[in-house]
Structure 1
């Protein structure tokens, strides 16, 4: 969600190479595409709505109303909806017990589309107070680790709860946010999105030239390099790229 739809499209087009098409949700909405594949949606915040610009993940569910009920039953919050959209989907904006905001969406989702595949976001990260407790909440609300065909598997690896689909990681849940840090925008419980780019340094240069700000140094692992940024309206996200691996001898 952003206040300047045109400016936001220019920024992410320059940084991530996205192209934009009108969405069937109505005026003020657009769908970002990469290589002809839909990647993300951007909607316009009205001037009188006191909400910060932010990226919000939406999880596909079978029934938005039943899922919203499960959120309430487990002390989460249903902020908006569920409501029906012209596209045929039905969704709601909700929050978990610690206040991390996410969406639920029923209908109109391709079975081939998911995080971690193709041009879609690389993965999601939940930064929260207690990762294990949050995993129980999301598992009960979204049906993780239920054994149903196509559902996600959950494991505990290196002090993280890791969510996998088809064996591939799609989300990580990290705990450790303290009560004091929960009131600071950069460290409050929230979902965080990672976008993959072919060249991290070029993407950083494009982001800063377009009004973005780096919030961290470039981090690295044996397989990836990444950096966290803020777009011109304040929405935070991370860019990541695979490191070149030495040729086998």
Structure 2
């Protein structure tokens, strides 16, 4: 988890169990990825707390995401990965394995906490994080730096899996709530939608957009301008669509192959 070391990073995962708390990209070429996302999304980059091969993307002075160089020994795909807060990474890892998920890396100890990289039963990759949190990084509120969408085989089955792993709807103090709207399962906290889970993904689909995965959405002011920047800087536009709320979206692929989505602010 590419956390920048802030003196103010005092919020702990014990306060927000199960909530999305960060998004991170492991890239083959750190410099090339920084150049692409800087040009496309206007991000600047600061050195993170994990060494020279990790950086924190910053927009308007606030941390948005982490980008790190993919170690050759790690056999993981280049992909945007969401992390979820947990009070105990060992317990969460054991729950993942008990429910036929996979823990691929970790839990590993870092300066600010402990993290692990995992996959659910459908193969959608996600991370868990125990420890200090980036201040003001909260998926779901109006000015959130990102929000999440799980494209699952069956949204209800996936909600049960993540609920049992991450204590969703458990009644624990600070835990996330689960609801249903517009044919999707929604993850909420204090009335804010943090993530959506939809059914219909197929593990054998030739189209990567249709396979089970966590899709990271970044809000932008001008989707058309962002699409032009993606094409100019070597990325690919895979799909353009409109949300239930009337916002414009574009599904994109960066030059390294990582999928992400931009959503127009409304």
Is the pair's TM-score, using the shorter chain for normalization, greater than 0.5?
Answer: yes
Of 247, 254, 260 in structure 2, the residue corresponding to residue 224 of structure 1 is: 247
Aligned to 2:195: 171
Is the partner of 2:257 in helix, strand or coil? coil
Distance 1:112 1:24 in 2: 18
Tell me if the contact between 2:204 and 2:211 (Cα under 8 Å) persists in the aligned partners: no
Aligned to 2:78: 53
Aligned to 1:100: 124
Inter-CA distance 180–7: structure 2 relative to 1 (3 Å threshold): closer
**Residues 1:241 and 2:247 are matched in the alignment:** no
Inter-CA distance 114–222: structure 2 relative to 1 (3 Å threshold): closer
Is the partner of 2:96 in helix, strand or coil? helix
Inter-CA distance 240–179: structure 2 relative to 1 (3 Å threshold): closer
Inter-CA distance 179–222: structure 2 relative to 1 (3 Å threshold): closer
Aligned to 1:202: 225
Structure ranking higher on relative contact order (CA contacts 8 Å, 6+ apart) = 2
Tell me if the contact between 1:19 and 1:33 (Cα under 8 Å) persists in the aligned partners: yes
Q: How does 1:1-249 map to 2 (within 5 A)?
A: 1-47=26-72, 49-85=74-110, 87-110=111-134, 112-117=136-141, 120-178=144-202, 180-181=204-205, 185-243=208-266
TM-score (norm 1): 0.90
Greater strand proportion: 2
- For the pair shown, which has the larger CA radius of gyration, 1 or 2? 1
Q: Deviations over 1:100-152 (max 9, x none)?
A: 11000011104642113465433101111111010001011001112233221
Is the partner of 1:150 in helix, strand or coil? coil
Q: Deviations over 1:162-220 (max 9, x none)?
A: 11111111111111123532x65332211010000111111111111111110013435
Cα root mean square deviation, aligned: 1.8
Distance 1:131 1:227 in 2: 22
Shift of residue 88 of structure 1? 2.3
Count of aligned pairs between the two proteins:
241
TM-score (norm 2): 0.85
